[in-house]
Structure 1
Amino acid sequence: MAGRTARLVLLAGAAALASGSQGDREPVYRDCVHRCEERNCSGGALRHFRSRQPIYMSLAGWTCQDDCKYECMWVTVGLYLKEGHKVPQFHGKWPFSRFLFFQEPASAMASFLNGLASLVMLCRYHTSVPASSPMYPTCVAFAWVSLNAWFWSTVFHTKDTDLTEKMDYFCASTVILHSIYLCCVRTVGLQHPAVASAFRALLLLLLTAHVSYLSLVRFDYGYNLAANVAIGLVNVVWWLAWCLWNQRRLPHVRKCMVVVLLLQGLSLLELLDFPPFFWVLDAHAIWHISTIPVHVLFFSFLEDDSLYLLKESEAKFKLD
């Protein structure tokens, strides 16, 4: 939900630095990468590298050039620490100790666990909520959108490439927009389906224009940041206003209120930007881990609310 907005803000800030951070601007780093690539990434040396590279590394897309950057990153970090300087960032990221083919193992695992939690809750929702519930189609669609987003988040933290970065951004935007649509259906669309349909078309148009501009024109991090902050604020204010309006009449909406407030509070973890503990666990990974129970709580709210609406619609049907 709203917490992904804060993540987008931090990712956008980091990505804006990707063209040059302190570490990768260092002459020692650049010279190291240049010499490593000349020595290992062409001709017979490249064939030798490929022959000894583990199959899982090649399947994950790790190249000789990637290995050179990784090794030279640690050479540079070692020199910084030896001279008593702070740990630098490289290409907008802190140095992480690679585990198997995972570039950021803690964040990748946390993203996977978020996706797993969403899948488990989707199965629970599907089992406990009949398809005749008014909110069933929209909630299930939201769950699948969330699963897709967590999949790409896992892939992005496994191997950061231009494609995985963009898919992570686009899927995060899609989740926020679908959360807004979910809120629209819950607050307006059940009484006025035509309004919900028109609003869905508008959101799809906005998403298409957003993705098309970033993909076909240029990937403008500043614009992407502003756009996602704007839709994130709409998402937060709309859900929170509805929760406050209905908390006495519908006690289960307090779960939704807690989710919105927790995600906003937990997003402050992202501001505690620091070199990763043991070169694995950074603030972003901690944020990912902390959101796992929050997503479970939100799906629990959707389950309770869907069952409430089903009971209400059945009662009206009997009266009619």
Structure 2
Amino acid sequence: MNFDLVKLRYSINFRDCVGQCEKTGCVGERCFLHCKFSSDSSSLDGPWYMQEPLYLQWKQWDCQSDCRYHCMLDREKERAELGHGPFKYHGKWPFRRLYGFQEPVSVGLSALNLAMHFHGWLSFFILLYYKLPLKPDKRPCYDYTGLWHIYGFLSMNSWFWSAVFHSRDVDLTEKLDYSSAVALLGYSLLLAIVRSFSVRNEAARVMVAAPLVAFTTTHILYLNNYKMDYGWNMKVCVVMGVTQLLVWAMWAGVTRHPSRWKLWSVVVGGGLAMLLEIYDFPPYEGLVDAHALWHATTIPLTYVWWSFIKDDVEYRTSSLLKKVK
């Protein structure tokens, strides 16, 4: 049988299953208590003030989510019996829930990335304000301080929403995750240009930032208000990510920075890790897919990256103090 016809048949069967479940509240012999219907098939959930608080609702799945999940399990069981591989549902591979989390491995790894960025930013802050000399006005001598503070905030924000999105995939968490990731990539490209080309003049920084900020903002608005185009978003993110790595690689090739080997490690490691985002494969045992492995690779890279940033702080501060003397 033609592969496209098989794919279409399973897609239709899945939609029919979900539609029937949303009417009856059952998939086969499994019925869901929170799918409540009256005799005329209207929902009995009641007004908002009679429903459970959000922090309690978060621990449960709504009717539609349970219908989609169990219909997916049934379709995947049928496919496995016929020797077919996993199939994407609503653009995502089938994952097994664990302790209420939709993608438990990605959630845990996102949380670890968040912790690594927080540790890196905190140690960067302590180094700047408590271990190195300050200017007479108590400001750090390092001339890229504010830029790295913003980077730290955007990084932690991005990984926070990544953990939330992978724990519960709904429209709001999806938009927040994608928007945060795009904002971080756009800003990281800006930071790569500013630091690599030693752009210290405020007017020059504005000229560099204006087109990048405009493009990144427009892309985020497009995803949120016009169309969540996954293919286009992947192309935009890959282009920004690759360009950023190329800028850092060119600088690493010409600079005499004492920690350039750390920069090379991040550039090469980040390039290899990006292949996991491009080369997609189904989750092993319904838990670990290419995206989860990418999350795993970024943990050690984050440690090395913040180590390079702190080395850059010491290197630049030392150079500036020598010039003053």
Task: Output the TM-score relative to the length of structure 2.
Answer: 0.81
Q: Higher mean Cα deviation, 266-275 or 32-41? A: 266-275
Distance of aligned partners of 1:61 and 1:173 in 2 relative to their CA distance in 1, 3 Å threshold: farther
SS in 2 for 1:26: helix
- Distance, in Å, in 2 between the alignment partners of 1:122 and 1:57 is 33
Contact in 1 for aligned 2:276/2:293 (Cα 8 Å): yes
Q: Does 1:253 align with 2:260?
A: yes
Q: Give 1:95's aligned residue.
A: 94
Task: Output the TM-score relative to the length of structure 1.
Answer: 0.82
Greater Rg by CA:
2
Q: Structure 2 matches for 1:178-217, cutoff 5 A?
A: 178-217=187-226
Q: Does 1:43 align with 2:43?
A: no
Distance of aligned partners of 1:231 and 1:55 in 2 relative to their CA distance in 1, 3 Å threshold: closer
Contact in 2 for aligned 1:134/1:190 (Cα 8 Å): no
TM-superposed CA distance for 1:234, in Å, is: 2.4
Higher helix share: 1
Amino acid at match of 2:176: M
Q: Give 1:224's aligned residue.
A: 233
Question: Which of structures 1 and 2 has the larger relative contact order (alpha carbons within 8 angstroms, sep 6+)?
Answer: 1
From 295, 306, 319, the equivalent of 1:312 is 319
Contact in 2 for aligned 1:214/1:220 (Cα 8 Å): yes
Q: Give 1:75's aligned residue.
A: 74
Distance of aligned partners of 1:166 and 1:192 in 2 relative to their CA distance in 1, 3 Å threshold: same
SS in 1 for 2:204: helix
Q: Does 1:33 align with 2:18?
A: yes
- Distance, in Å, in 2 between the alignment partners of 1:199 and 1:257 is 24
Distance of aligned partners of 1:205 and 1:273 in 2 relative to their CA distance in 1, 3 Å threshold: closer
Q: Structure 2 matches for 1:45-64, cutoff 5 A?
A: 58-59=57-58, 62-64=61-63
- Distance, in Å, in 1 between the alignment partners of 2:53 and 2:75 is 25
TM-superposed CA distance for 1:285, in Å, is: 0.8
Aligned length: 296
Cα RMSD of the aligned pairs, angstroms, is 2.9
Specify every segment of 5 or more residues in structure 2 that has no aligned partner in the other structure, as ranges.
Answer: 1-5, 26-34, 130-139
Contact in 1 for aligned 2:18/2:67 (Cα 8 Å): yes
Amino acid at match of 2:262: K
SS in 2 for 1:202: helix
Q: Give 1:108's aligned residue.
A: 107
Distance of aligned partners of 1:301 and 1:23 in 2 relative to their CA distance in 1, 3 Å threshold: farther
Contact in 1 for aligned 2:10/2:75 (Cα 8 Å): no
- Distance, in Å, in 2 between the alignment partners of 1:286 and 1:164 is 21
Q: Give 1:279's aligned residue.
A: 286
Q: Give 1:156's aligned residue.
A: 165
CA offsets per residue over residues 25-62 of structure 1, 9 Å max, x none? 434323322222112234259659xx9x9986722573
TM-superposed CA distance for 1:108, in Å, is: 1.3
Q: Does 1:65 align with 2:64?
A: yes
CA offsets per residue over residues 99-157 of structure 1, 9 Å max, x none? 23311111111111111110111111111123332122111111111111111111111
- Distance, in Å, in 2 between the alignment partners of 1:163 and 1:310 is 43
SS in 1 for 2:197: helix
From 135, 143, 147, the equivalent of 2:156 is 147
Q: Give 1:295's aligned residue.
A: 302
Specify every segment of 5 or more residues in structure 1 that has no aligned partner in the other structure, as ranges.
Answer: 1-20
